[in-house]
Amino acid sequence: MVSANREMAVYCFDTLVAHYNSVQAPPPAFEEGQHPLFVTWKKAVNGGEPRLRGCIGTLEARCLINGFKDYALTSALRDRRFPPIQAKELPYLECTVSVLTNYESALHYLDWEIGKHGLIIEFTDPDYSTRCSATYLPEVAAHEGSDLQSIASWYLLLDLCTLIVASSLKLMPKSEISSILHPGRHCDDHVTKFEHIIL
């Protein structure tokens, strides 16, 4: 099993810098493998707490080199929640890479441990047969607090509202919605690179 490492985060930085300079990124210094992965960018200004600037990944197993290359740029430039990261922000960025492992079905939405498991919510829109999903990485829950019920309830409510609005579930009685949800859990291995020296 491949573990997240500093070189993966460096490669994401190198990929973003290369994008701004319109050049190829140097080859990565980590082993290839196939895993689901996420790339998270945060920005710290004036010594403050780093704030999210982009986080996108995939629950499908990807070749790590191409996956990190793709999602370094996707999370930096195409996370619809934020304006694209600009080159002038590079000195203030930190990058966290996550390699997801150990997928398993959960018995219910509280069947996971804070700091150990991430949570996956999936359902199929009954009218359009489209698959909707969302995931919460283990480090997000660990950062948000220690009460499993509160964390799970908050994130489920927030994300289900988003997913439901985008689907025909908004027309279903609430009592029927839980019958089509499929909770799952996963572990991840992650590493954060706090600075990147641009030569």
**Per-residue pLDDT band at 196 (split at 50, 70, 90):** very low
On average, the pLDDT of the chain sits at: 76
Residue 147: per-residue pLDDT:
56
Q: Quick: pLDDT tens for 103-138.
A: 777 776 667 776 677 777 676 766 777 776 667 677
**Per-residue pLDDT band at 189 (split at 50, 70, 90):** low
Q: What is the pTM of this model?
A: 0.73
- Is the predicted pLDDT of residue 18 greater than 50, yes or no? yes
Q: Quick: pLDDT tens for 151-183.
A: 555 455 445 545 544 555 445 554 555 554 555
Percent of the chain whose pLDDT exceeds 70: 61
Q: SS in 3 state form for the chain?
A: CCCCCHHHHHHHHHHHHHHHHCCCCCCCCCCCCEEEEEEEEEECCCCCCCEEEEEEEEEEEEEHHHHHHHHHHHHHHCCCCCCCCCHHHHHHEEEEEEEEEEEEECCCCCCCCCCCCEEEEEEECCCCCCEEEEEECHHHHHHHCCCHHHHHHHHHHHHHHHHHHCCHHHHCCHHHHHHHCEEEEEEEEEEEECCCCCC
- Is the predicted pLDDT of residue 25 greater than 70, yes or no? yes
CA angle 23, 25, 30 (to 5 degrees): 175
Q: Could you tell me which residue, 101 or 89, shows the higher pLDDT?
A: 89
- Is the predicted pLDDT of residue 26 greater than 90, yes or no? yes
- Is the predicted pLDDT of residue 101 greater than 60, yes or no? yes
Q: Quick: pLDDT tens for 33-85.
A: 999 899 999 998 888 888 999 999 988 899 999 999 999 999 999 999 899 99
Domains of the chain: 6-101+188-193 (3.30.700.20), 102-186 (no CATH)
